[in-house]
Chain A
Amino acid sequence: MIQLEHVWKTYPPNYRALRDINLEIDQGEFVYLVGASGAGKSTFLRLLFRAEEPSAGDIRVDGQSLAKLKSRGVAALRRKIGLVFQEFKLLANLTVVDNVALAAQVTGASQKESRSKAVNLLRELGLNDRHDAKPLALSGGEQQRVAIARALINDPILVLADEPTGNLDAEVADETMRLFAKIRAQGATIILATHDLGLVNRYGTRVISLRRGELADDLSRGESGSSAQ
């Protein structure tokens, strides 16, 4: 599903955010990406949805080399990926249902179809009665569920979440993690960056640890040692 070969990312003048990363992630895996602030977690995710390009090395997602993608290819790639961020990234002037439907509309789905799909997703995520509310009228947990609904509306093969529980209290964070587990059970690959090791211990299946841009550990649940590739 995802292959990284000798991937480096250097920012000017000479800051190495990622150093020679090699790994593979299979379809349907739930991967935690852990590490301290500045370890390179966000850079790792940004490379996967082509917000940035590696300074060296090759990244393949769903069999496609990201280096060869032009503007349209990048847009097509992102339609296959659901993105969830710590700061939700919802549009304040749109209603909850329109925020979710937006992601379907850009793929060419009609307004009616997109809204209907959004309404169903919001119902599944327990936001049945908040369709017409504006995001700022929602709690942090509700906003994150709206963001997750938006990430799921195009049936993504891959979900990338960057600190999705960073702004949530423990109870809501647990609820959100259960939601991700449910999404994974439906067949999507999930890569979730977090520095909350408590969450990792409770829900982790595979944990990739970054330290100063290097792959420090790659552990699967039940394994006791490092298996970095």
Chain B
Amino acid sequence: MKLSLLGFVLRRVGNSLHQLLWSHVLTTVTMAVALFVFGAFLLLQINLQQLLKGWGEQIQITAYLIKELSAADAENLRQRLGSLPDVAAIRYTSPAQAWRDFQSALGTQSGLLEGLPRDLLPASFEITLKPTYRDEPVVEDFTERLRKENAIASVEYPKEWVQRLSLIVLAVQWAKWIFGGLMFLATFIIVGSTVKLALVARRDEFEIMQLVGASEELIQAPFVIEGMIQGLTGAVLSVAALWGAFVLVQGEMPTLAAFLAPRSAPQFLDEWNILLVLAIGLLLGAAGSLFSLRRFIQTWKASASAS
């Protein structure tokens, strides 16, 4: 596009923003609300994933060994399991150590254990997996392999917790697109209505520009640019509002934040996620405008032919 035409388009955009200021403000705020909802789910998802990762680090698989296993065989097994690519750490707990741990767990009630044989509890391994192997199906697969070991009597790990947390993350992921999608649809319709309002308000200009030989691109470009400006402004506002809400939650609810993320501070959207929100705003504005323009032009052509 020639520079003079670009200048012409931008002047028309400026005029429209000035003339229909409140209509543009309303659309921008609507877009900001929709993108805020999407961004809030995104933020929740990121922090839940962080939480899952943190909890994953604390989740250990306990493999109980058969009674007949000698200390030497137990050591051999520990070395073999420790060399597996999945395993980050493996700790051997002897029956005597297990007994002491049990006693200290009982505290003042440890007298209840009087008279019981000291090798009652089996020896065990406490296995921590590497972060990349902490997904629920991978953990399940690993425990299955452990169960097949002849020297291992049983295997335990907090399967339900892992499953529940994974489900929550999955639900948030879907909710982000479902609620975000509904908001986007509403925004899309509202942007389209704003463009339609602008088109109706400027239909004389639209007609006259066609009559004097303006190309369709030249006539449509200002409306698309207006949509993109609205989308981008709405996205910037939504990110700013999210940041405000994030700081507020962190400041007002430190206990909740500490509970949710005991090992790290809650995270805000990273630069890629912020870019994603901005890009969605931009696309939503442009697509809403284009959709409405196309419909308006079709109706326009039909009514012009009929008149």
Contacts and interface: CB of A to CB of B under 8 A. Distances in A.
Contact of B4 (A77, A92, A111): A111
Contacts of B305: 52
Interface of B: 2, 4-5, 7-8, 11, 19, 204-205, 207-216, 218, 304-306
Contacts of A89: 204, 207-208, 211
B212 A150 contact: yes
A106 B216 CA distance: 11
Interface stretch (A19-27, A68-76, A116-124, A186-194): A68-76
Contact of A91 (B4, B205, B213, B304): B205
Interface secondary structure of B, over-half rule: helix
A51 B4 contact: no
Given A75-B216, A89-B204, A108-B2, A83 B211 contact: yes
Contacts of A77: 213
Given A77-B213, A103-B212, A107-B213, 9 more contacts: A75-B216, A78-B212, A79-B213, A89-B207, A89-B208, A106-B8, A108-B5, A109-B4, A111-B4
A76 B8 CA distance: 18
A92 to B, nearest CB: 8
B211 A111 contact: no
Interface in A70-128: 71-72, 75-81, 83, 89-93, 102-103, 105-111
29 contacts: A11-B306, A51-B304, A52-B304, A71-B216, A72-B216, A75-B210, A75-B213, A75-B214, A75-B215, A78-B210, A80-B213, A89-B208, A90-B208, A91-B204, A93-B19, A102-B209, A102-B212, A103-B213, A105-B4, A105-B5, A106-B212, A106-B218, A108-B2, A108-B5, A109-B4, A110-B4, A110-B7, A111-B4, A111-B11
B203 to A, nearest CB: 11
A103 B214 CA distance: 8
A75 B216 CA distance: 8
Contacts of A11: 306
The 6 closest A-B pairs by CB, nearest first: A79-B213, A78-B213, A106-B214, A103-B212, A110-B4, A75-B215
A76 B218 CA distance: 13
B306 A106 contact: no
Nearest to B7: A111
A54 to B, nearest CB: 12
Contacts, number: 65
Of B8, B19, B208, most A-chain CB atoms within 10 Å: B208
A137 to B, nearest CB: 17
A209 interface: no
Of B5, B205, B211, B213, most A-chain CB atoms within 10 Å: B213
A49 B213 CA distance: 10
A136 to B, nearest CB: 13
A152 to B, nearest CB: 12
A49 to B, nearest CB: 8
Contacts of A143: none
Contacts of B4: 105, 108-111
A98 B211 CA distance: 16
Nearest to B5: A108
A176 interface: no
Contacts of A103: 212-213
Interface in A134-170: 150, 154
Nearest to A52: B305
Nearest to A106: B214
Given A91-B205, A102-B208, A106-B218, A154 B213 contact: yes
Contacts of A150: 212
A103 B213 CA distance: 7
Contacts of A78: 210-213
Of B8, B204, B210, B211, most A-chain CB atoms within 10 Å: B211
Contacts of B207: 89
A105 B5 CA distance: 7
Contact of B213 (A76, A92, A111): A76
Of A77, A81, A103, most B-chain CB atoms within 10 Å: A103
Contacts of B210: 75, 78
